[in-house]
Amino acid sequence: MEETEKHILWVEDDDELANLFIARMRKDGLLVQRAENGEKALAMFDALHPDLILVDLMLPKMSGFDFIQSIRSMQGIAQPKILILSAMGRPDDETKARKFGADGYMIKSQVSIIQIIQTIRNYLDLPNSATAGVAIPL
Amino acid sequence: MTERRMMLARRSSQEAVFYESITRKLRWSVILIVLITLPLHQPQTVPFILLISLACMFNLSRYSNLLMRSTWYSSRFTFLAADNILVTALLIEAGGINNPYTFLLALVIVTAAYWYGKRGAAIVTTFQILALSVVSFVRPFHSITISPVSSLILIGCLIVIFAILVEQLTSAERVKRIKLEKLEYEKTQISNRLLALINSLGDAVATVDENGFITIANTALTELSDREADLVGKRISTVLPLQHAFKPDLDWSEVLRTAPSRYRDYTLKRGKGNVVSLELTITPITQNGLEKSEFIILCHDITQDRTLDEQRQEFISVASHELRTPLAFIEGALSLALATPKEIADPDTLKFLKKAYHNVLFLSSLVSDLTLLSKAQNDALEIQPQVVEPKQIVNHLIEDYAPQAKEKYLDLKAEFKPDTTSVLSTEHHIEQILRNLISNAIKYTKTGEIVVGIEPAQNNGILFSVRDTGPGISQADQKKLFTKYFRSEDYQTRETGGTGLGLYICQEIAKRIDAKLWCRSRIGHGATFYLEVPPFSKLDKDQKEVVAAGVSDLVNQL
């Protein structure tokens, strides 16, 4: 099942976990593309017009915060939802992220993939996941 | 001087004092007798006798003064000499210079002086005066003739009788005194041993009265408080000004009021910036079963333990992160496999994969809970009070949990009472507790709504509430709600899963910020959890800067 209207961009350099998540999200029917770093993501931005961006804070070259700032400072475009999906969190990161304009903040190893999927669907006003199968954890 | 010599010196001077007290009385009475019999003497000798008697009285009074001073021993000889001269003069006058008895008497007196001198000079002089008075009496009745031999024998007998009398008197007294001294000595020995024991303790020990004044302090306390002088009589609050990481300094009057008690979170700043963590134990003192208004304070150094705690905390932090990533992976992979269950041919494989998925979810939440718990119990140092906006926190949480609520078709909303302002506390902790309460509410409520409320509380605090329309919690369960590993026996509730640590952790976190957490519920009528957060009362310089920054942020946002 494909929902061709909403595009998701994931900025993540290389992480097995992230790759697994992307595979899982695709199986759920979400359209996900991956960019390895901030610069490539900005390049893909114009072509893709993503509705939602998932970004890891620890990126090579351009930092996650800088990337968010670049997106938020763009004029004349529909601003996408931005979800931080980072490896390890410090308490300041979340406040800082929200200040930069992120909509959500999650720590990769602390959320289940189903939670991520459901959060994304919620942000994109999509119906609930159909492939959750077993009980959704809270 | 060694203890024994001191004791002996004390004893001999005590003896001397004792002899003197008896003989002084005797001597005064004898002088009185001499004066009374003055009219019986020859008129030309009267002035001379008077003079000498007065001189003796003067010597006597001086002697008493000398006794009071500790240098009695050295003045003894001077006094003796003076006394002997006076008495001899009186003797010569009374007996006449040509009297052979005078010479004999003088000889006897000198011998007696030597013999009795060892025991106490007082006896000698008394004897001298006694002999004097004998002569005094005899003289008027000079018509009575006594042969030299018989008078010598008479005097000899007098000496012996007197010696025996004095000996009898003093021996009984001496035995009693020796017994007392022995008891005193033993008592001193025991108390010395106890003192030595207390002083060799590594922990600082003090006893204080109800007003906080130190009555006993051991060496360890003197060292701990970096003092040189004796601590007795000083206030315990000035000797041990203990501080807390984020609460106010230790209030000693409160501490004594609420004894017995134990505190583990207080530190003492010592010289050179050295800070020690102390475990304080305060106990009221009971003697013979009655409680006195004194307290014993024990300080145990737990700085080492604290360092170990910090190391353990770091280890748990790292270990849990290491645990979480593989768990997240396993969970993701299983979720992926189970996303298309039709692709799994074998029904058994499907069944067990589902079970594996459940288990890994449980494991993930357990690891999260244990990390949280460990942090909550140990992170006294991480509290950074800030200006907290309750509405902001609740709005974020509602945003975060909206998807899950939507999934179950529950209505998740906020309810702000007017006049709710900011509070000085930590966002992190409040958020953690509220997260747990909200996720619990969503988990256990089948239909209806979940309302997160904010209203002002007493002393400028904030009262958060999470109300749900779930099945409610029984009175029996409510009592154990916040205990470790508690899971309800109610079938419906149990089925929903959970590690049983959630509310226990919330309670621990609440303690960290002095907040109160409780629940009101009735079976069948939902449940409401309340969290009352008070403002922080202690701010040090750094924290004040953080607060100031927070306040200026708020102002900028307006």
3-state secondary structure of B278: strand
Q: How far apart are CA B514 and CA B543, in angstroms?
A: 17
The confidence band for B1, taking pLDDT boundaries of 50, 70 and 90, is: very low
- Put simply, the answer to whether B407 touches A21 (Cβ < 8 Å) is no
Residue B143 CB contacts under 8 Å (≥ 6 apart), including other chains: none
Q: How far apart are CA A40 and CA A62, in angstroms?
A: 10
A93: closest chain B residue by CA: B428
Shortest distance, CA A76 to any CA of chain B (angstroms): 25
Closest CA to B498 of B442, B411, B440, B539: B440
Distance of CA A110 to the CA centre of its chain: 15
Q: Rounded to 10 degrees, what is the CA torsion of B157, B160, B161, B163?
A: 160
Q: How far apart are CA B450 and CA B473, in angstroms?
A: 15
Q: How far apart are CA A114 and CA B335, in angstroms?
A: 8
Could you tell me if B357 lies within 8 Å of chain A, comparing CB atoms? yes
pLDDT (0 to 100) of residue B539? 46
Could you tell me if B342 lies within 8 Å of chain A, comparing CB atoms? no
> Given A17, A110, A122, which is nearest B368 (Cβ)?
A110
B356: closest chain A residue by CA: A134
B368: which chain A residues are within 8 Å (Cβ-Cβ)? 110
Q: How far apart are CA B496 and CA B508, in angstroms?
A: 24
Could you tell me if B333 lies within 8 Å of chain A, comparing CB atoms? yes
For chain A, what is the mean pLDDT?
A: 83
Q: Between the CA of residue A114 and those of A89, B84, B323, B336, B407, what are the distances in Å?
A: 20, 118, 19, 10, 12
Task: Say what angle helices B121-138 and B148-199 make with each other, to 10 degrees.
Answer: 160
Query: Phi and psi of B297, rounded to 5°?
Result: -115, 125
* Neighbour tally for B389: CB within 10 Å: 19
DSSP state of B460: G
Shortest distance, CA A28 to any CA of chain B (angstroms): 7
Shortest distance, CA B340 to any CA of chain A (angstroms): 7
When pLDDT is averaged across residues B339-346 and rounded to a whole number, the result is: 86
Return the bridge partners of B424, or none: B387
The confidence band for B7, taking pLDDT boundaries of 50, 70 and 90, is: low
pLDDT tens digits, one per residue of A11-59: 988 778 888 889 999 988 888 999 988 888 989 988 888 999 999 888 8
A114: which chain B residues are within 8 Å (Cβ-Cβ)? 335
Helical spans, DSSP H, in B69-147: 72-95, 100-117, 121-138
Q: Is the dihedral of CA A32, A33, A38, A43 positive or negative?
A: negative
- Put simply, the answer to whether A17 touches B331 (Cβ < 8 Å) is no
Which of A88, A98, A109 to mutate to probe the B interface, most B CBs <10 Å? A109
Which of A103, A123, A138 to mutate to probe the B interface, most B CBs <10 Å? A138
pLDDT tens digits, one per residue of B292-332: 788 999 999 988 887 777 777 777 777 777 888 888 889 88
For chain B, what is the mean pLDDT?
A: 77
> Given A87, A91, A128, which is nearest B407 (Cβ)?
A128
Q: Between the CA of residue B162 and those of B84, B112, B172, what are the distances in Å?
A: 19, 11, 16
A133: closest chain B residue by CA: B339
- Put simply, the answer to whether B336 touches A112 (Cβ < 8 Å) is no
Q: Of B2-16, B65-79, B130-144, B204-218, where does mean pLDDT reach its minimum?
A: B65-79
Closest CA to B263 of B234, B235, B284, B242: B242
- Put simply, the answer to whether A133 touches B399 (Cβ < 8 Å) is no
Predicted TM-score of the model (pTM): 0.46
Could you tell me if A81 lies within 8 Å of chain B, comparing CB atoms? no
A118: which chain B residues are within 8 Å (Cβ-Cβ)? 403-404, 407
Shortest distance, CA A39 to any CA of chain B (angstroms): 27
ipTM (interface pTM): 0.79
Q: Between the CA of residue B302 and those of B98, B278, B305, what are the distances in Å?
A: 93, 5, 5
Shortest distance, CA A15 to any CA of chain B (angstroms): 11
Shortest distance, CA A125 to any CA of chain B (angstroms): 10
Q: How far apart are CA B521 and CA B353, in angstroms?
A: 38
- Put simply, the answer to whether A136 touches B404 (Cβ < 8 Å) is yes
* CB–CB contacts below 8 A, A to B: 82
Question: Token match 């097995």: residue?
Answer: A16
pLDDT tens digits, one per residue of B470-523: 998 888 888 888 887 777 666 555 555 666 778 888 888 888 888 999 999 998
Whether B77 shows a pLDDT value over 70: the answer reads: no
pLDDT (0 to 100) of residue B68? 46
- Put simply, the answer to whether A20 touches B332 (Cβ < 8 Å) is yes
Q: Which two tokens stand for residue B21?
A: 């007290």
Shortest distance, CA A19 to any CA of chain B (angstroms): 10
pLDDT (0 to 100) of residue B144? 47
| Cβ–Cβ under 8 Å, residues B474 and B523 | yes
Q: How far apart are CA B419 and CA B417, in angstroms?
A: 7
Could you tell me if A58 lies within 8 Å of chain B, comparing CB atoms? no
**SS3 readout for B362-415:** HHHHHHHHHHHHHHHHHHHHHCCCEEECHHHHHHHHHHHHHHHHHHCCCEEEEE
Whether B428 shows a pLDDT value over 50: the answer reads: yes
pLDDT tens digits, one per residue of A64-122: 888 998 899 888 888 899 999 887 666 678 788 888 888 888 887 778 888 888 889 88
Taken as a whole, chain A contains a residue count of 138
B334: closest chain A residue by CA: A24
Using alpha carbons only, give the angle A37, A38, A42 rounded to the nearest 5 degrees.
120
> Given A17, A87, A118, which is nearest B407 (Cβ)?
A118
Q: Between the CA of residue A110 and those of B15, B96, B347, what are the distances in Å?
A: 89, 124, 30
DSSP state of B259: -
pLDDT tens digits, one per residue of B434-483: 988 998 899 889 899 999 999 998 888 899 999 999 998 888 888 888 88
B338: closest chain A residue by CA: A133
Q: How far apart are CA B154 and CA B152, in angstroms?
A: 5
A29: which chain B residues are within 8 Å (Cβ-Cβ)? none
